[in-house]
Amino acid sequence: MSQPKEIFVIQERCMGCHSCELACAVAHSAKKSLYDALSERPRPKKRVYIEWVAPDKNVPIVCRHCEDAPCLNACISGAISRNSKGAVLTDDQKCIGCWTCVMMCPFGVIGRHMEKRIAYRCDRCLDQSELACVQACPAKALQYGTVEQFSGEIRNDAAQKLISETANNLR
């Protein structure tokens, strides 16, 4: 079985530009256009959040699609399920807007769509070929891949830094 893909965050790259949030909202709009999304009612909702945590630190937060998802276990209407790719999804038709999943999410990434009275979360852009937030990030702070791919890139970056620092110290 192939390993599921995840969205990974390279926090030190995040500039706090909010491009990922905007792209996410547009991707979840009816017409998939920024211009049209601005006038849609109800307004399209973002599913990724940029949190400011220090004067120079911004952290993108997105649904982790937890292996043992507290939201899935807490859903009283059966609206939350996991698909074959490992994504935890909310069925708008079954959601009753009780917000139990919102209370159970340890990351605070399940939103409340008050006009529709439903909960919503990152759906990994299931109806699109690319993840809007990952594609929109100019700093490449968001990465979409397997744990092995992401870990390999981190190890490679660490090795490059070590080689560079060693070369500089020898001079």
pLDDT tens digit sequence for 12-63 = 899 999 999 999 999 999 999 999 999 999 999 999 999 998 888 899 999 9
pLDDT (tens digit, 9 = 90+) per residue, 52-75?
988 888 999 999 999 999 999 999
Q: Which residue has the tokens 């079954």?
A: 94
pTM listed for this prediction: 0.86
- Report pLDDT digits (tens) over 91-106: 999 999 999 999 999 9
Cis omega (within 30 of 0) for bond into 42: yes
Reduced to 3 states, what is the DSSP secondary structure of residue 6? strand
CB 104 within 8 Å of CB 71 = yes
Assess contact for 133 and 11: CB atoms under 8 A: no
Q: How far apart are CA 111 and CA 79, in angstroms?
A: 15
Taking only the tens place, the pLDDT of each residue in 89-147 is 999 999 999 999 999 999 999 999 999 999 999 999 987 878 999 999 999 999 999 99
